[in-house]
Structure 1
Amino acid sequence: MDEQIRLMRERGERLREAAQSIGITHAAKAAGVPYTTLRDYMNGGEMKFSAISSLARVCGVSLDWLAFGNGTGPGADSPDGTASTTRQIVIPWHDNHEDGLRIGRDWLQSAIPRDLAALCLMTSEGDAMEPTLASGDLVIVDRSVTTVTASALYALESSGTLMIR
């Protein structure tokens, strides 16, 4: 039993290192894991596979490293000699009121195969888009899309007010 507790604590420390590399709050939001749950994981609590795989993706580390310590973690040089921080991107807020969301570049590029420089963050407000979006949900907007087509969500500005429809 002591060995299992030690392994869980080590996993929690690797998770803390990975989450700190992009910001703990940002890691929790991007992975869809409640902050308190992430904190419990970092303190050596038992982790759900779905959560640890999402956290590995958004933090830009391998699942093998995060779960078992195999390979290199955040901050290590990649095989081409560049620092691993190039594997992360910061998505700015549409109004630049905060720093933005730091997220794993590889995961983001696979989830949103677009020009990453055109992305920004917004927060959904109101209940007009429920149940798809609840008030307060974080939304990534692609500013390069300027034409409306069927079956998509859009961020629109009308009379100085931003809306998601």
Structure 2
Amino acid sequence: MSDDHARLLRERGERLRQAAQSIGITHAAKAAGVPYTTLRDYMNGSEMKLSAVASLARACGVSLDWLAFGVGVGLDADGESSAPVRGGHQVVIPWLSPQPDEGLRVGKSWLEAALPRDPATLRLINVSGDAMAPTLREGDLVIVDTGARTVQGGAIFALRVEGDILLRR
């Protein structure tokens, strides 16, 4: 393989990584019908099947030309698709700790209205125990902003203490 060809494959893989990360890599693989391991290989610069490139572009909301060749509609500087947003555009909020599923899929417009934060810093956890009852109950699902680093009165915080996550006011 020539150096130019290898460079083009690496660049295509990086565009794919950016596009897949914008919706969640696991979700991108599932939505495009591409095995996760194959997607990982593509992102690392392996040759891609045209059918896979087309499916991945569609799933990630970028143009086939941008994904394959770096021209056309792709992602803007904030990692958002510069394609027109169609109804139903969703964001996946991943789990704070590894879980068997990818996370919670929510409407992007709902998330922006309900929780105006950077979606990339949001994570999910399930409440365990009754320390925060009745505000939070066993099994409740909580969205944590991992980017928040300051303590403010009245807020609920997730603290990592000796490997455990504690939710406290």
Give the TM-score normalised by structure 2: 0.49
In structure 2, the gaps of 5 or more residues are 93-101, 109-169
Give the residue type in structure 2 aligned to 1:37: T
Aligned-residue offset at 1:89: 1.5
Give the letter for the 1:17 counterpart: Q
Do structure 1's residue 20 and structure 2's residue 17 form an aligned pair? Answer: no
Match in the other structure for 1:11: 12
Q: Where do residues 118-157 of structure 1 align in structure 2 (5 Å cutoff)? A: none
Residues 99-140 of structure 1 show CA distances to partners (whole Å, capped at 9, x for unaligned) of 12789xxxxxxxxxxxxxxxxxxxxxxxxxxxxxxxxxxxxx
Residue aligning to 2:85: 86
- CA distance in 2: counterparts of 1:42 and 1:52, whole angstroms: 11
Q: Which aligned pairs between 1:12-161 and structure 2 lie closer than 5 A?
A: 12-75=13-76, 84=83, 86-87=85-86, 89-90=89-90, 98-100=103-105
The whole-number CA distance in structure 2 between the counterparts of 1:26 and 1:72 is 21
In structure 2, relative to structure 1, the CA distance for the partners of 1:101 and 1:28 (3 Å cut) is: farther
Q: TM-score, normalised by structure 1?
A: 0.50
Partner of 1:151: none
What is the distance in 1 between the residues matched to 2:70 and 2:8? 10
Q: Contact conserved, 2:32 with 2:56, CA < 8 A, in 1?
A: yes
30 and 5 in structure 1: CA distance in 2 versus 1, 3 angstrom threshold: same
Structure 1 equivalent of residue 96 of structure 2: none
Same amino acid, percent of matched pairs: 66
Contact 1:9-1:44 at 8 Å conserved across structures: yes
CA contact (8 A) 1:26 1:101 kept: no
How many residues are matched? 95
Deviation at 1:83, TM superposition (A): 6.0
Name the CA distance, whole Å, in 2 between partners of 1:24 and 1:101.
16
CA distance in 2, matches of 1:89, 1:13: 23
Contact kept, 8 Å, 1:22 with 1:102, in 2: the verdict is no
- How well do the aligned residues superpose, as a CA RMSD in angstroms? 3.1
Moved over 4 A (4+): 82-85
CA distance in 2, matches of 1:6, 1:102: 36
Q: Distance in 2 between matches of 1:9 and 1:83?
A: 22
Cα deviation, residue 51, structure 1: 0.4
| Aligned partners of 1:56 and 1:63 also within 8 Å | yes
